[in-house]
């Protein structure tokens, strides 16, 4: 899933694709580079972000969805039912829902739905996130949301642990470490680590620098964690850097296939073949 934020203030690509033509061009480029889905978002959910009025979000999202949908599968990254419905009418076939509350819209429109876990809301979610057992709590929540969606008749349901949404860096790493367990629930898993702040800290530690504060500077961490997520069984990774991620996934797949052919690491290999 390639990220296309048509916002002025997204944490990474904010302001780059507010022009409809540039946004569409970038969406098509990600599709050419191997994105199966382009995720169009008109409201930033970065920590501290304020909500956007519905008419503004509609104006940002609908023309871009309309232009891309004949060429590539489009999802809409929104927490608003009005925006989800309008995007589906414009051609989107997946609702990427950071609020995990729109399954009734996905059911009535008969489109797919991604339920993401978030503790709190974007404005305040990073103030002091607290869990007893983050992996167990996120899993229990997501299974509940997925069952509700399936019972309501949603034809395609994904679950996403919501990396960076009301989580400390330690919580994010714990969720990545326990991803295989989330995948073992049987629900298809989506994961978004791309360019997020916890990677900046890890990369800076590796560099011996004070911090990779520019999200564009977090490519290696984004790609490495996308590969790690896929190896754990995630069926979808949400990324800004499609070309690099697709190449890294292909190379890893080849490496794992040759490992399997010499009879080693069968458990790890079976996830990829």
Q: Kindly list the catalytic residues.
A: 196, 238
CA distance 227 to 202: 16
Q: To the nearest whole angstrom, how small is the minimum distance from the Cβ of residue 125 to ligand HH2?
A: 11
- Nearer to ligand HH2 by Cβ, of 93 and 96: the residue is 96
Half-sphere exposure at residue 52, Cβ-oriented, CA atoms within 13 angstroms? 25
Closest CA to 77 of 59, 63, 89, 65: 65
Residue 73 CA, distance from chain mean position: 15
CB 162 to ligand HH2: min, Å: 6
Burial pattern 122-137, b for ≥16 Cβ within 10 A else e, equals beebbeebebeebbee
Which residue in 78, 93, 96, 178 binds ligand HH2 (CB under 6 A)? Answer: 96
Site for ligand HH2 in 101-140 (CB under 6 A): 114, 116
Write each residue from 161 to 180 as x if it is in contact with ligand HH2 (CB under 6 A), else as -, in one continuous string: -xx-----------------
Enumerate residues 177-206 that contact ligand HH2 by CB under 6 A.
190, 192
Given strand 112-116, what is the order of strands in its sheet? Answer: 2-5, 37-41, 73-77, 94-97, 112-116, 157-160
Shortest Å, Cβ 210 to ligand HH2: 23
Q: Least distance to ligand HH2 from the beta carbon of 267, Å? A: 27
| Residue 57 binds ligand HH2, judged by CB under 6 A | no
CA 105 vs CA 4, 161, 163: distances in Å: 22, 21, 24
Dihedral (Cα; 245, 37, 185, 163), 10-degree rounding:
60
The single residue among 11, 17, 141, 198 that binds ligand HH2, judged by CB under 6 A, is: 11
Q: How many residues of this chain interact with ligand HH2, rule: CB under 6 A?
A: 21
**Is position 5 an interface residue for ligand HH2 (rule: CB under 6 A)?**
yes
Q: Which residues bind ligand HH2 (CB under 6 A)?
A: 3, 5, 7, 10-12, 41, 44-46, 77, 96, 98, 114, 116, 160, 162-163, 190, 192, 238
């Amino acid at each position: 899933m390639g990220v296309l934020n048509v916002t002025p203030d997204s944490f990474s690509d904010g302001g780059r694709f507010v022009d409809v033509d540039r946004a569409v061009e970038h969406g098509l480029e990600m599709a050419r580079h191997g994105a199966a889905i382009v995720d169009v978002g008109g409201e930033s959910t970065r920590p501290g972000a304020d909500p956007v009025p519905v008419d503004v979000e509609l104006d940002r999202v609908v023309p871009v969805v309309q232009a891309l949908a004949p060429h590539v599968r489009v999802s809409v990254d929104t927490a608003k039912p009005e925006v989800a419905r309008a995007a589906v009418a414009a051609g989107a076939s997946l609702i990427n829902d950071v609020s995990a509350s729109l399954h009734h819209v996905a059911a009535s429109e008969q489109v797919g739905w991604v339920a993401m876990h978030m503790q709190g809301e974007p404005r305040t979610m990073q103030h002091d996130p607290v869990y007893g057992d983050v992996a167990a709590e996120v899993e229990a929540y997501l299974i509940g949301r997925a069952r509700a969606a399936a019972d309501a008749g949603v034809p395609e349901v994904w679950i996403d642990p919501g990396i960076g949404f009301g989580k400390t860096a330690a919580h994010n790493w714990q969720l990545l470490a326990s991803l295989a367990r989330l995948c073992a629930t049987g629900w298809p898993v989506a994961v978004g680590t791309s360019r997020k702040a916890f990677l900046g800290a890890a990369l800076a530690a590796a560099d011996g620098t004070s911090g990779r504060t520019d999200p564009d500077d977090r490519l290696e961490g984004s790609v490495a964690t996308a590969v790690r997520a896929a190896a754990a069984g995630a069926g979808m990774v949400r990324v800004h850097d499609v070309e690099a991620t697709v190449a890294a996934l292909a190379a890893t797949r080849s490496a794992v296939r040759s490992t399997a052919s010499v009879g080693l690491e069968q458990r790890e290999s079976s996830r990829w073949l």
